[in-house]
Amino acid sequence: MAYEVNINKMIELLSDTLSLSEGELSADTQLIGNLPEFDSMAIVSILMQIEEDFGIEIPDDELSGEVFESVESLTEFVEIHQAATAI
């Protein structure tokens, strides 16, 4: 249940930040190399918004291309940091 909520929240966040309709994104949507809107400036904006919306801090040294492969991989990364923050 929480996973589905986070996926939906992530889709909403990405849609708003990238100026896409929510219908254009799903958990399986590939981000890097698939969406022209998903560039380095968008990544910075997305990370700032994730930190604000999900209440986490993301260390730069934990970011990699794998994190941004898909909506699902980005959501899983956020959930790992949420769990670590909750402890």
* Structure confidence by residue, pLDDT tens digits, 59-82: 889 999 999 999 999 999 999 988
Domain residue limits at 1: 1-86
| Range of lowest pLDDT (27-31, 53-57, 72-76) | 53-57
- Residue 50 maps to which CATH number? 1.10.1200.10
* Structure confidence by residue, pLDDT tens digits, 42-53: 999 999 999 999
Estimate the crossing angle of helix 40-54 against helix 2-18, to 10 degrees.
Answer: 140
Report if pTM > 0.85: yes
pLDDT for the residue 2: 67
Total structural domains within the chain:
1
